[in-house]
Chains A and B, each alone.
Chain A
Amino acid sequence: MKLSFFAPVLTFAVIAGVMFYALFFLDPTLIPSEFVDRKVPEFSALEPVPGYGPDLSSENLSDGKVVLFNVFASWCVACLIEHPVFMKLKAEGNVEIFGLNYKDTPEAAAKWLAKNGNPYTRTGMDPKGRLGIEFGVYGVPETFIIGPDGTILDKIIGAVTANDLKTRILPRIAGNKK
């Protein structure tokens, strides 16, 4: 009899607990990527941002080393936040970074790279966002970490944080050192 008194209270506590967890510990804007553990989608040579490296195709993303594939745009504010991270990675020289310029104009993209520095080995332009759809991109920036054989190891949605760099990028590119 005493136990059944607690049943409603217990039920409420469980529901409240689940909702509390969902409210503070789950981010509804993060959509799990379908691409982790899959091969990068095939695409043929994309025009580079004028003046910024040779053209970019899917073969460049599977060249025997872990590489980063970063989706950026000159209109994207969060890209400015993560840009220094890529500049630093570029300076350290352990990983090649490829840039997909998403829904941008060639002039604006070139100006942006001239102003903020170019961390990319190659760039490719996706003015209409069609390649973005092939990669399941739904916001900028997104960063794919791609394994030596072209398998996508991880995808970082939004600006790369110091924590992302430490826990998701650095351990994976450690093997690139000779």
Chain B
Amino acid sequence: MINLARQGIRRGLVLLMVVVGLGFAGVASAVFVEEQLDDPALEMRARDIAEGIRCLVCQNQSIMESNADLARDLRLLVRERVATGDTDDEVRAYLVQRFGDWILLNPPFKARTLILWLSPFLLLLFGSLFVVRFLRRKSEGAATLPLTDVEEAELHKIMATDKNKSEAL
């Protein structure tokens, strides 16, 4: 009975932690909203775009997550452009034209970023080639080397004792 009660309490605590945690997650993403567009669909789009825009003065935070002045200005700017009817790509292009590709948290795929995008796949390819070669050489090496005389004698000894043991059982 005590065990059951204890289990119940523990389960309750875990549930509480999850709920509180989720609550905080909701709060965290809604901290820096100083104004909203009237149309919820447009507001959603503006936030989506803002989440992919780097805050230039805080390194690797999006302007949605940053309380920097410049981030606020850019959030307002994104809302403004969305409200005037720019597409998502047009808003991004507007910012890239002024601040460069660096402002996008997701770097675009082009000649200058080829190494960035392809190097993980190249590393995976070379890595797996190396592993295959390494394993193959290892197993071949083990198969072709004959036992030395000492090893042979040892092996016989082990097999003999094994046989005795199983007979004794």
> Given A138-B57, A139-B57 in contact, is the A34-B97 Cβ separation under 8 Å?
yes
Of B57, B59, B69, B99, which is within 8 A of A103 by CB? Answer: B69
26 interchain pairs, CB-CB under 8 A: A29-B59, A31-B56, A31-B99, A31-B100, A31-B102, A32-B100, A34-B97, A34-B99, A34-B100, A103-B69, A128-B73, A129-B69, A129-B70, A130-B73, A133-B73, A133-B74, A133-B77, A134-B98, A135-B98, A136-B98, A136-B99, A138-B56, A138-B57, A138-B70, A138-B99, A139-B57
Residues of chain A within 8 A (CB-CB) of B98 are 34, 133-136
- Main secondary structure, interface of A, reads loop
Contact A33–B73 (Cβ < 8 Å): no
Beyond A129-B69, A138-B56, 4 additional contacts (C-beta under 8 Å) are A33-B100, A130-B73, A133-B74, A139-B57
| Chain A, range 123-173, C-beta contacts under 8 Å to B | 128-130, 133-136, 138-139
Distance (Å) between the CB of B61 and the closest chain A CB? 13
What class of interface size applies to chain A in its complex with B?
Answer: 10 to 19
Using Cβ atoms and an 8 Å threshold, which residues of chain A touch B74? 133
Interface membership of chain B positions 82-102, coded 1 if the CB is closer than 8 angstroms to chain A and 0 otherwise: 000000000000001111101
